[in-house]
Chain A
Amino acid sequence: MSSTTTAPRSSVPQAFKLRVRRYDPESGQAAYWDEHEIELEGHRSVLEGILQAKNRFDGSIGIRCSCRQAICGSCGVRINGEPALACHTHLDEAIKSAKDGVIEIEPMGNMPVIKDLIVDMDAVHWKKVRRVTPWLIAKQPVPEREYIVDRESMVDVTQTMACIQCGACVSDCLAMEVDPGFIGPAALAKAYRFVGDPRDDARHVRLNDLSQDPQGIYDCTHCFKCVEACPKDVNPMGQIMRLRRIAGSDEQIVDVNNGHRHEEAFTTLIRDYGLLHEAELLPRSYGGDSWFGKFHPAAGKELLSSLPAIVKAVVKGKVSPTKAIFGHKIAKRDLDSVKRIYERVEGKPQRYELNLYIVGEDE
């Protein structure tokens, strides 16, 4: 959270050029770009700019919008290629990332476009939300008054409750681009809202479901795109990682996708070698720390299927064959430092990762 105060704002309107991606499904023609020049103070939002263009020049520009204050979640778009809420992006900020002095506004990605900036959220986003059984399965018996629960637990799930379902994270989810069936960041963050809720009675069932689904929590590739995209600091990827930890470590769920072991392999390899030891990754993912893991049939199968990628990586110089096979060497002193980090983190009596809505510092 920024704690700096911005300079006094200019009350003088200035001209901005907007380039809007248009698509009219009734015209039978392909999508095209449309430019308008609007006049507003720099701290006004891109949405206000679009609305001015709509009101003054062309009322047919399609965009969903309502609250103008980043709470209704209607106006998710891409601005200069990045997902954002139009109402939550200042014109003077947007112009900075504009490649040719024109603010470019397109519909969100990963969802079919209906018209102009309007995408079919139901076909993708809401379908995925419905996939995670998105309602509380209340612990019985239901008390007469409120459930008595930890103060912090409610603040914790409020962070995911704060998701406004705008779809910005879905728009740019790289895993979903490759695997459209991936449940995805928004829906999985929604799932955490129940897994983390002490009043919910289906924690294990939910986690097992999301772990065993090949398009569930282990399908996320950890790319941070959703974290950057989220206008409400919901941190969807963080929620997915928490689902993994709770599923694997607390609920001891062994998933058929081998996702938990694969993640463990990364962790233990860094602990043991300080850097990733690529050749060890597959065996360890399938056999854990056991030497026999090297001979796990599934490991061999996955190695075969990964060969093209490995060859490509070697050819492009991304991986050095010797280091990948024999391991990277780092100085003993550095390796000891890495190990100390592990000892410190793992030595804590309990894992503290409450997702505080805001971790406020007292001054």
Chain B
Amino acid sequence: MPEHDVLIIGAGLAGQRAALAAAQAGASVAIMSKVHPVRSHSVAAAGGINAAISLDDDWRSHAFDTVKGSDFLGDQDAIEVMCSEAPGEVMHLEHMGVTFHRNEKGEMDLRAFGGASMKRTAYVADITGQALLHVLYEQLMKHHEQVERYEEWFTTSLLIDDAGRCVGVIARDVRSGRMESFLAKNVILACGGAGQAYKPTTNGLIVTGDGIALAYRAGAPLMDMEMVQYHPTCLVESGILITEGARGEGAHLLNANGERFMEKSAPNKMELASRDVVSRAEQIEINEGRGVGPNKAGIYLDVTVVPRKRTLEALREIVNLGRDFAGVDITREPIMIRPGQHYIMGGVKTDIDGRTPIDGLYAAGEVACVSVHGGNRLGANSLLDTLIFGRRAGEHAAARSASMPMPALNTVSRVQADEAGIDAIVRREKGGRRVSEIKDELGETMNRYAAVFRDEQGLQSARETVARLKEEAGSAWIDDRGTVFNQDVLGALELSYMLDCAEAIVLGAIERKESRGAQFRTDYAERDDENWLKHINITATADGPKVSYSPVNITQWEPEERKY
């Protein structure tokens, strides 16, 4: 049975950064992912990464923008850590080889982004996530002797010992179908969000809430799960993301009357208000009949106001996306977009070193809730979050490993249990619904009731639907009876992960009877600091999910009215 000091689940930016940090701290490290690391969804992050590297910038300004963006739900101690460490981290990545765009002086160039009080976003054209991810993978190849890679291994459960500590995982080799247990002194979850619980979503098909659900099942509390970000600019039909970098470069949002409607809700920042504000403004235009296109369900994003040469150089990827996925040359005509599910601010509750309340279990990146994003994440803060807290979790886990023995646990029966669970799905008779049908209904339900605007009635209906889908998933059948690359059976497991995440999202949204950040309740339209300036935690118990609260950590910025 493989044994490692630090075992990381997920090989996107948070996971790879954690692996490198732990290896450099001298730990024996392994990183496991259900896909090849460069396929991880961090690859799709486009616009850039925030850091106060400009000499006339100050990390406190970045921190305040982040606090304000979070609608004061973010924990300010964590935000201070992230923003103060950002410049060093970005420089470190530059030294590793990230090809950051330069200005005429040869220094790193910065672009404007939503909710930021100055240009603070370093970028590589509009493939920043890809550039970062591939450079980190270069480093993993370089450090192959220190970091073991389990590529295409699917985690089925966390190993929790009798003392309640996390001591490893059970996983299935996707290629052979073989189940194996892995012992580890510390496990770091870095497996991203749960966007596929929504349909449509900007997130890749692999983003199925695995880590959130694994931790939830192991008894870890999930925090702020109701805070689901809708990105303001997604292609109307496919939900594919158009980077905020477009608005950062100056693109406008227009309604059917050709009006820049953002001046109503954000007269100063206009299109560069925070994402929750822009998405709501768009949805209001659409709901009130001022949308464009078929069914008036879209809004125009006009990139033609950006000089064409600049667009072709700095926004090349969305030029391609517009051409290939919407049939529009964005340098010559506006493109139709709308808000779409993009990111989950909530996740597994951690401290600033990535520790969850379960001993030996860490989480970093979108899977985690530190919380630096609170009610709404600023664009270009997610890459930063993955790197800073990935590194911190890796370092902390490595240091902790140095002073503890390798856990001992007889895992035979647990491996058999997971194996039996999978066999049972494979052998199910055709009778109930297909996994894919249930997944579609889940996605549509969430996108209808747990979206930009929410109310009690809709959320209750979502809760009932999710509960019913959970029942149905118990008998859902699949076609593939094989073991080699049986993606069908993994799809059934992913569905169960997504259903757990959806349950927590809906419960959180029902619980929070106010409007803050991404949670806008039409039946409680105001922010209510007196009663709801607190985190909502959801813990799985034998009697079902249990709700509790934890305070928001305020260091230097008292809540105030949010205006852009």
Asked whether, in the complex, the Cβ of A118 is within 8 Å of the Cβ of B125, the reply is no
A252 neighbours in B (Cβ, 8 Å) = none
> Given B36, B307, B312, B323, which contacts A358 in the complex, CB threshold below 8 Å?
B312
Tell me the bound Cα distance from A65 to B485 in angstroms.
Answer: 13
> Given A59, A70, A146, A361, which contacts B435 in the complex, CB threshold below 8 Å?
A59
The verdict on A339 contacting chain B, using a C-beta distance below 8 Å, is no
Closest B residue to A90 by CB, please name it.
B324
The verdict on A145 contacting chain B, using a C-beta distance below 8 Å, is yes
| A147-B332 contact given A60-B479, A69-B321, A363-B308, CB 8 Å threshold | no
The verdict on A250 contacting chain B, using a C-beta distance below 8 Å, is no
B114, chain A: closest CB distance, angstroms: 21
A173-216 interface bits toward B, Cβ cutoff 8 Å, 1 = contact, 0 = none:
00000000000000000000010010100000000000000000
> Given B95, B151, B480, which contacts A122 in the complex, CB threshold below 8 Å?
B151
Q: Which of A114-158 contact B (CB under 8 A)?
A: 114-116, 118, 121-122, 129-130, 134-136, 138, 142-151, 154-155, 157-158
| A3-B332 contact given A72-B43, A151-B106, A154-B101, CB 8 Å threshold | yes
Asked whether, in the complex, the Cβ of A55 is within 8 Å of the Cβ of B436, the reply is yes
The 7 closest A-B pairs by CB, nearest first: A136-B97, A360-B312, A360-B309, A60-B480, A55-B436, A66-B204, A59-B479
Tell me the bound Cα distance from A2 to B322 in angstroms.
Answer: 11
Asked whether, in the complex, the Cβ of A361 is within 8 Å of the Cβ of B308, the reply is yes
The verdict on A9 contacting chain B, using a C-beta distance below 8 Å, is yes
Asked whether, in the complex, the Cβ of B436 is within 8 Å of the Cβ of A59, the reply is yes
B191-208 interface bits toward A, Cβ cutoff 8 Å, 1 = contact, 0 = none:
000000000000011100
The verdict on B134 contacting chain A, using a C-beta distance below 8 Å, is yes
The verdict on B107 contacting chain A, using a C-beta distance below 8 Å, is yes
A7 neighbours in B (Cβ, 8 Å) = 327
Asked whether, in the complex, the Cβ of B130 is within 8 Å of the Cβ of A5, the reply is no
A88 neighbours in B (Cβ, 8 Å) = 324
B44 neighbours in A (Cβ, 8 Å) = 67, 69, 71-72
A158 neighbours in B (Cβ, 8 Å) = 99, 101, 124-125, 127, 131
The verdict on B94 contacting chain A, using a C-beta distance below 8 Å, is yes
28 A–B contacts from the bound complex (CB under 8 Å)? A1-B319, A3-B331, A5-B327, A7-B327, A9-B327, A24-B482, A55-B434, A60-B479, A60-B480, A60-B486, A65-B205, A66-B35, A67-B41, A67-B44, A69-B238, A90-B324, A114-B175, A115-B482, A122-B36, A136-B138, A138-B96, A143-B95, A146-B91, A146-B95, A147-B95, A161-B127, A359-B312, A360-B308
Excluding A71-B43, A149-B106, 9 further A-B contacts by CB distance (< 8 Å) are: A1-B312, A9-B327, A67-B41, A147-B95, A165-B38, A165-B134, A357-B316, A360-B308, A360-B313
Asked whether, in the complex, the Cβ of A138 is within 8 Å of the Cβ of B106, the reply is no
The verdict on A162 contacting chain B, using a C-beta distance below 8 Å, is yes
B206 neighbours in A (Cβ, 8 Å) = 66
Count residues on chain B whose CB falls below 8 Å from chain A CBs: 82
Asked whether, in the complex, the Cβ of B127 is within 8 Å of the Cβ of A71, the reply is yes
Q: Which of B511-555 contact A (CB under 8 A)?
A: none
| A68-B97 contact given A73-B38, A161-B131, CB 8 Å threshold | no
Closest B residue to A27 by CB, please name it.
B482
Tell me the bound Cα distance from A135 to B95 in angstroms.
Answer: 11
Closest B residue to A361 by CB, please name it.
B309
The verdict on B25 contacting chain A, using a C-beta distance below 8 Å, is no
Asked whether, in the complex, the Cβ of A115 is within 8 Å of the Cβ of B205, the reply is no
The verdict on A300 contacting chain B, using a C-beta distance below 8 Å, is no
Count residues on chain A whose CB falls below 8 Å from chain B CBs: 74
Closest A residue to B241 by CB, please name it.
A69
Q: Which of B31-80 contact A (CB under 8 A)?
A: 35-36, 38-41, 43-44, 53
B314, chain A: closest CB distance, angstroms: 9
A9 neighbours in B (Cβ, 8 Å) = 327
The verdict on B148 contacting chain A, using a C-beta distance below 8 Å, is no
| A157-B99 contact given A72-B204, A115-B484, A130-B141, CB 8 Å threshold | yes
B244, chain A: closest CB distance, angstroms: 16
B308 neighbours in A (Cβ, 8 Å) = 360-363
Q: Which of B285-329 contact A (CB under 8 A)?
A: 294, 307-313, 316-317, 319-321, 323-325, 327-329
Q: Which of B93-132 contact A (CB under 8 A)?
A: 94-97, 99-109, 124-125, 127, 130-131
The verdict on B219 contacting chain A, using a C-beta distance below 8 Å, is no
A-B contact count (CB 8 A): 203
Binding site for A on B (CB under 8 A): 35-36, 38-41, 43-44, 53, 91, 94-97, 99-109, 124-125, 127, 130-131, 134-135, 138-139, 141-142, 151, 175, 204-206, 238, 240-241, 294, 307-313, 316-317, 319-321, 323-325, 327-329, 331-333, 434-437, 478-488, 491
The verdict on A29 contacting chain B, using a C-beta distance below 8 Å, is no
Asked whether, in the complex, the Cβ of B41 is within 8 Å of the Cβ of A66, the reply is yes
The verdict on A64 contacting chain B, using a C-beta distance below 8 Å, is yes
The verdict on A26 contacting chain B, using a C-beta distance below 8 Å, is yes
The verdict on A74 contacting chain B, using a C-beta distance below 8 Å, is yes
A219, chain B: closest CB distance, angstroms: 22
Tell me the bound Cα distance from A161 to B130 in angstroms.
Answer: 8
The verdict on A11 contacting chain B, using a C-beta distance below 8 Å, is yes
B481 neighbours in A (Cβ, 8 Å) = 60
A194 neighbours in B (Cβ, 8 Å) = 97
Tell me the bound Cα distance from A165 to B324 in angstroms.
Answer: 19
A24, chain B: closest CB distance, angstroms: 6
Closest A residue to B140 by CB, please name it.
A135
A38 neighbours in B (Cβ, 8 Å) = none
Tell me the bound Cα distance from A174 to B365 in angstroms.
Answer: 42
B134, chain A: closest CB distance, angstroms: 7
Asked whether, in the complex, the Cβ of A59 is within 8 Å of the Cβ of B39, the reply is no
B486, chain A: closest CB distance, angstroms: 8
| A135-B141 contact given A26-B483, A360-B308, CB 8 Å threshold | yes
Asked whether, in the complex, the Cβ of A135 is within 8 Å of the Cβ of B204, the reply is no
Tell me the bound Cα distance from A161 to B316 in angstroms.
Answer: 13
> Given A11, A114, A199, which contacts B97 in the complex, CB threshold below 8 Å?
A199
Tell me the bound Cα distance from A90 to B238 in angstroms.
Answer: 13
Asked whether, in the complex, the Cβ of B100 is within 8 Å of the Cβ of A68, the reply is no
Asked whether, in the complex, the Cβ of A25 is within 8 Å of the Cβ of B332, the reply is no
Closest A residue to B45 by CB, please name it.
A71
> Given A146, A357, A358, which contacts B94 in the complex, CB threshold below 8 Å?
A146
Asked whether, in the complex, the Cβ of A60 is within 8 Å of the Cβ of B488, the reply is yes
Asked whether, in the complex, the Cβ of B95 is within 8 Å of the Cβ of A142, the reply is yes
| A197-B97 contact given A72-B41, A151-B106, CB 8 Å threshold | yes
A2 neighbours in B (Cβ, 8 Å) = 323, 329
Asked whether, in the complex, the Cβ of A148 is within 8 Å of the Cβ of B106, the reply is yes
Asked whether, in the complex, the Cβ of A3 is within 8 Å of the Cβ of B434, the reply is no
B146, chain A: closest CB distance, angstroms: 14
The verdict on A6 contacting chain B, using a C-beta distance below 8 Å, is yes
A11, chain B: closest CB distance, angstroms: 7
Closest A residue to B98 by CB, please name it.
A161
A48, chain B: closest CB distance, angstroms: 9
Closest B residue to A150 by CB, please name it.
B106
Closest B residue to A147 by CB, please name it.
B94
| A74-B436 contact given A62-B485, A66-B205, CB 8 Å threshold | no
The verdict on A58 contacting chain B, using a C-beta distance below 8 Å, is yes
The verdict on A4 contacting chain B, using a C-beta distance below 8 Å, is yes
The verdict on A43 contacting chain B, using a C-beta distance below 8 Å, is yes
Tell me the bound Cα distance from A327 to B124 in angstroms.
Answer: 51
Query: Which among B103, B131, B151, B320 has the highest number of chain A CB atoms within 10 Å?
Result: B320
Closest B residue to A57 by CB, please name it.
B479
A90 neighbours in B (Cβ, 8 Å) = 324
> Given B41, B109, B331, B485, which contacts A114 in the complex, CB threshold below 8 Å?
B485
| A4-B329 contact given A162-B130, A360-B311, CB 8 Å threshold | yes
B323 neighbours in A (Cβ, 8 Å) = 1-2
Query: Which among A43, A157, A360 has the highest number of chain B CB atoms within 10 Å?
Result: A360
Asked whether, in the complex, the Cβ of A71 is within 8 Å of the Cβ of B324, the reply is no
The verdict on A164 contacting chain B, using a C-beta distance below 8 Å, is yes
Closest A residue to B46 by CB, please name it.
A71
Closest A residue to B138 by CB, please name it.
A135
